[in-house]
Structure 1
């Protein structure tokens, strides 16, 4: 802050100096004073609208504030003023990556590298672009080139390690991530990458602690100033458990709330609204809370749900496998039974389907399936195909001529989805919250997984230690969904043949 004070004095002495405002803005940025820094850069631009570095710096500040469209516009102005401004070319690419405009990002990065072929950060960003465009071999080459140019950058080693993990070169991936940590032991991304690598291989003793600790560093305690539960005796104590990740993770790890409830005098759950009704039906020994009614004085401890496997020292042998642990409302189940009977008279084998997960998920490009591939199932007769799909991908149904029952408008929360699932014979889904919901209900579920799966599904096995009723269908090569769907189709036909005496 001393530097900020000195630079304020410089402006008082020369209030018309654009450089003085730029220098003060830069110092404020270093102190994390983003709003004040933005004001200084705007004043610098006002005094001298022809200096590209002012626009570039303001763009960086706005990107940090998640004002991405404005940031891209400012980087664009910097480039117009100076077409060979490689830092601005690289910076606009980071915004375009964050907004999934990968082709545009590639063009800017290729331009930067043409100007300076030794610009390591541009190679790293180009690797990220190519990875998201499923050009993985090229991406790995770019990450390696970044290391060759800047061998002491921890981020580059982490990215190589993650890419090697996608190629199932797990030993080499661990070596790279360990190198990243040797360069920067406090790297959150590298520590989490190593933790998930351990969990993927069922090395739970090594994985849980690192995963728990570094996830909390990344996310922080986003709730009240209540002591974090570290495994202390809960006799006579009140604890607040909260969902710290997405719906699928919450459903997956809510099983541990049942274990906590056996130890504490009162177990409270702070859960996103779409899950509350279902959990009220299911977890009768827990209290579901509203965030606007939480008082820190009411609780002795707090814990995120994803910390609980670590707190209970979960190993391969002690994974809590008992299902079902989530139960739909009988009234909702009966309502959906009547609704579906009106459609198929209860005479067809009912299969619920989900072909796409949350588009905001970091691995959605791998785990969601193109509809033209998935829809190859829908011409199998003797099946009532019932879409459990939510979100924008529901519109995919308009592209198939086969009959698929669309009930998306009625799936207002997970209690309704659970009521539908209870009336199905089978659920076929990508890695999504529905997979966890069906598994937690003990329903027969076929889960379709990419070559590089989420850590909880491990590698190669066709079953899941977390959900006994799941059968896993895996890609054996990257981007080979057609092969997976062919196997699923054959399995559906075999199942119908066994149950209905039909092979069509």
Structure 2
């Protein structure tokens, strides 16, 4: 403990700190910082001021300054549990999870009743996917503060990961009992319902996505003066804008509803990402397809694509699942046939990586070094990816996979290449949805805890009749999954021989 702890606080410095603290509580961060800095000038080593400047810097995203001030505060008095807990938050925010856990452990050594330390330790362990340990931390936090809705929500998410789904549902219920407007708990509970095929509850929960601040979709919400349509108003003679949201795969999956909207008598304007523009023009239903960012024609209503299942009250039994609702361009498909040449083997289109921006990409994507084990000599393999990660490039070049990424300018090109193969083998990325939307036979490789849209356990999909779901079992490596797939490919190739 520093001798500075025992130094009397000057009344003026104490007053400035109190004023800064009030401004801080009101969210007036610039004023708070100014008051804190003045207090620190009058009283160097003022522990509470150093601590709160560190907190303020953390809240502002200035993690370097936050770490500096929290360390300075710890040098003054390292026996304050909250200092170590807040330092742990900074370390976690900068990706130093193990160091964060050490700080939380230090905080808890000093004060076992530090509920924030238990909670944030749980968050860090959850990020590291140490789910059993994370659950224990959340339970300790809730034993101290049973009305913490966010802790109940996070506990539920961990229980989902542990496949304790009924308990997870109960925990989401507890979160909403303590905070009925907790958007994240509504959203997560909705995803759990969807994963179990309880679509009526699930689609209602899915609408909370717009209010979850941590979701990018909530920050990208489109605001229009025209009213939102969710199935109630008569559309006869009206024009409606249906606009894509979230990922390319989501657009490919949910554009199936466009024709149903048109059947209500509406003139449908469909807005999609530019890379999907050409492909979406093969979709039945829209009067006009426009690229996001282009000028929009006049319209009477609007609806995000992923709200359409709610608008149509889709259940597991009524999901619209046409065999193929998008088509490859015939000319482009013929060009690919000519480039690839005559088939001498089963021709398999492959995709082993998704976008690194996806929050669960490390689960769903497979290193090519591992994926290459599936490359049976009984088959011919063609890459369906338009780009590759640096570590995959030399291995791909040395493999038997035919690679044409530079020719895939947009999804109409990829769709045409899909049409030129016999089977698509892909991880859970937009290629899976493209193959399904085209009605192309597809084997989709799913991680043990797969996305909600693939439901649980089943090997088929209500969304895509042509798809077969190949699920990784808990604790199973991708190498083991791919060994099973290779056996299946060899059997298919053998049966396909004349």
The alignment's TM-score, normalised by the length of structure 2, stands at 0.85
Distance 1:433 1:383 in 2: 23
> Aligned runs of 1:370-409 on 2, under 5 Å?
370-378=367-375, 380-389=376-385, 393=389, 395-399=391-395, 401-409=398-406
- Separation (CA, whole Å) in 2 of partners of 1:321 and 1:466: 5
Corresponding position of 1:5: none
Q: Distance in 1 between matches of 2:474 and 2:324?
A: 33
- The CA distance in 1 between the partners of 2:387 and 2:21, in whole Å, is 42
Which residue is equivalent to 2:274? 273
Between 1:462-471 and 1:384-393, the stretch displaced more is: 384-393
How far the C-alpha of 1:27 sits from its partner, in A, is 5.1
Q: Quote the residue 2:362 is aligned against.
A: 365
Counterpart-to-counterpart distance in 1, 2:170 and 2:32: 40
Q: Secondary structure at the match of 2:268?
A: strand
Question: Per-residue deviation at 1:308?
Answer: 0.5
Q: CA deviation at 1:154?
A: 1.1
Deviation at 1:358, TM superposition (A): 2.4
Which digits, 9 at most, give the CA deviation of each residue in 1:174-195, with x for residues without a partner?
A: 1111111111111111111111
Question: Are the counterparts in 2 of residues 208 and 309 from structure 1 also a CA contact under 8 Å?
Answer: yes
From 25, 46, 53, the counterpart of 1:55: 53
Give the deviation of 1:301 after TM superposition.
0.9
The answer to which of 182-191 and 256-265 deviates more is 256-265
- Name the residue aligned to 1:448: 445
On the 8 A contact 2:242/2:269 being kept in 1, the answer is: yes
Post-superposition CA distance 1:185-225 (Å, at most 9, x none): 1111111111111111111122212222x123332742322
Q: Please, what TM-score do these two structures have when normalized by structure 1?
A: 0.84
Q: Secondary structure at the match of 1:357?
A: coil
The partner residue of 1:154 within 149, 154, 158 is 149
1:30-89 per-position Cα deviation (integer Å, ceiling 9, x unaligned): 5556677677767777887754234323323323xxxxxxx2202211222023465454
**Are the equivalent residues in 1 in contact too, given 2:57–2:66 (CA < 8 A)?**
yes
Separation in 2 of the partners of 1:268 and 1:182? 41
Report SS of the residue matched to 2:173.
helix
Map 1:266-345 onto structure 2 (within 5 A): 266-283=267-284, 285-294=286-295, 298-341=298-341, 345=342
Specify whether residues 43 and 318 from structure 1 end up closer, same or farther in structure 2 by C-alpha distance, changes over 3 A only: farther
SS at 2:281 equivalent = helix
Q: SS of 1:456's equivalent?
A: helix
Q: Name stretches of at least 5 consecutive residues in structure 1 with no aligned partner.
A: 1-16, 64-70
Partner of 1:116: 111
**Alpha-carbon distance, 1:118 to partner:** 3.0
Task: Give the CA deviation at 1:171.
Answer: 1.1
- 1:258-302, Cα deviation, whole Å (9 max, x unpaired): 21122243211222222222212435733223454546x922111
Give me the whole-angstrom Cα distance separating, in 2, the residues matched to 1:105 and 1:32. 26
Q: CA deviation at 1:376?
A: 1.2
Q: Which residue of 2 aligns with 1:181?
A: 176
| Contact kept? 2:66, 2:90, Cα under 8 Å | no
Cα shift at 1:93: 4.4
Does the 8 A contact of 1:42 with 1:58 survive in 2? Answer: no
- Whether 1:217 aligns to 2:211 is yes
Distance 1:309 1:338, change over 3 A: same
Separation in structure 2 between the aligned mates of residue 98 and residue 328 of structure 1, nearest angstrom: 44
**Pairs within 5 Å for 1:426-441:** 426-441=423-438
391-400 vs 326-335, which deviates more? 391-400
Q: Deviations over 1:85-111 (max 9, x none)?
A: 654544454455456443343343334
Contact in 2 for aligned 1:28/1:37 (Cα 8 Å):
yes
Please name the residue that 1:14 is paired with.
none
User: 2:28, 2:155 → 1: CA distance?
Assistant: 33
Q: Map Cα deviations across residues 295-342 of structure 1 (whole Å, 9 max, x no partner).
A: 6x922111111111010010122100003112222233233333333x
Distance 1:136 1:456 in 2: 23
Q: Check whether the contact 2:351–2:383 (CA below 8 A) recurs between aligned residues.
A: yes
Report matched runs for 1:71-150 at 5 Å.
71-83=62-74, 84=78, 86-87=81-82, 89-91=84-86, 93-94=88-89, 97=92, 100-150=95-145
Matching residue of 2:8: none
Segment drifting more, 389-398 vs 309-318? 389-398
Aligned length: 473
Aligned to 2:424, the other structure's residue is in SS state strand
2:329 & 2:168 partners in 1: Cα distance? Answer: 46
3-state SS of paired residue (1:446): strand
Report how far residue 250 of structure 1 moved.
Answer: 1.3
Rounded Cα–Cα distance in structure 2 between residues aligned with 1:110 and 1:387: 47
Q: How has the CA–CA distance of structure 1 residues 291 and 405 changed in structure 2, closer, same or farther, with 3 Å as cutoff?
A: closer
Is the contact made by 1:239 and 1:264 (CA closer than 8 Å) also made in structure 2? Answer: no
Once the 2 structures are TM-superposed, how far is the Cα of residue 122 of structure 1 from its aligned partner? Answer: 2.5
Question: Is the 2:230–2:307 Cα contact (8 Å) retained in structure 1?
Answer: no
- Asked if the contact 1:75/1:89 (under 8 Å) is kept, the reply is no
SS of alignment partner, residue 393 of structure 1: coil
The match for 2:472 is: 475
Q: C-alpha separation between the residues in 2 aligned to 1:47 and 1:406?
A: 67
Counterpart in the other structure of 1:13 = none
